[in-house]
Structure 1
Amino acid sequence: MLEHVAGGREPMTAMAIAAGLGLDKSTCSRSLAVLVERGWLVRDERTRLFGPGPVLVGLAATAAVSGQLQAILLPTLARLRDATDETVSFHRRVGDRRVCVAGLESRQVIRRVLPIGDSFPLPVGPSGKVILAFVDSAQRETLLAALDPAERSEIRSWINAAIRTGVVSTDGDHIAGVGAASVPVFGREGVFGSLTVAGPLPRWNAVRRTEATGLLLAAARSLSETLGGARLADYERWIGTCAETPATTERVTTP
Structure 2
Amino acid sequence: MTSQKPRTTTDERPQHTSDGSFSDSASATDPGSAAATAATASETPNDDIHSGVGVLDKTVKILDALEFGPTTLGQLVTATGLARPTAHRLAIALERHRFVIRDQHGRFMLGSRFAELSAAAGEDRLLNAAGPVLQTLLDRTGESAQIYRRQGDQRICIAAVERASGLRDSIPVGALLSMEAGSAAQILLAWADSERLHMGLRQAKFTAAQLAAVRRRGWAESINEREKGVASISAPIRNASGQVIAAVSISGPTGRMGTMPGRRYAPLVMAAGKYLTDTLIKAGSSI
Secondary structure of 1:110 counterpart: coil
What SS does the corresponding residue of 1:183 show, helix, strand or coil?
strand
Pair 1:201-2:201 in alignment = no
State the partner residue of 1:115.
172
Q: CA deviation at 1:222?
A: 1.1
**Contact 2:182 2:221 (8 Å CA) reproduced:** no
* TM-score normalised by L of structure 1: 0.57
Task: Tell me which residue corresponds to 2:269.
Answer: 216
Uncovered stretches (5+) of structure 1, i.e. residues with no partner: 1-62, 230-255
For 2:138, the aligned partner's letter is R
Mapping 1:5-154, distance limit 5 Å? 67-144=124-201, 146-147=202-203, 154=206
Identity %: 27
Letter in 2 for 1:86: E
Query: 1:97 Cα shift?
Result: 2.5
Larger radius of gyration: 2
> Given residue 165 of structure 1, which amino acid in structure 2 is its aligned partner?
R
Change (3 A) 1:64 1:174: farther
- After TM superposition, give the deviation of residue 65 of structure 1 in Å: 8.6
TM-score (norm 2): 0.51
SS state of the match for residue 202, structure 1? helix
Deviation at 1:94, TM superposition (A): 2.3
Structure 2 match to 1:186: 238
Q: Does the 8 Å CA contact 1:86/1:107 hold for their aligned counterparts? A: no
For residue 219 of structure 1, what is the amino acid of its counterpart? A
SS at match of 2:281: coil
What secondary structure sits across from 1:83 in the alignment?
helix
Partner of 1:21: none
Deviation at 1:170, TM superposition (A): 1.7
Aligned with residue 177 of structure 1, among 229, 232, 244: 229
**1:68/1:163 Cα in 2 relative to 1: closer, same or farther (>3 Å)?**
closer
Contact between 1:65 and 1:101, CA under 8 Å: does it hold in 2?
A: no
RMSD: 2.4
Asked whether the equivalents of residues 162 and 168 of structure 1 are also in contact (C-alpha less than 8 Å), the reply is: yes
Aligned to 1:164: 216
Residue type matched to 2:235 in 1? Answer: V
The whole-number CA distance in structure 2 between the counterparts of 1:113 and 1:141 is: 30
Q: How far 1:127 moved relative to its partner?
A: 1.0
Which structure has more RCO (C-alpha within 8 Å, separation ≥ 6)? 2
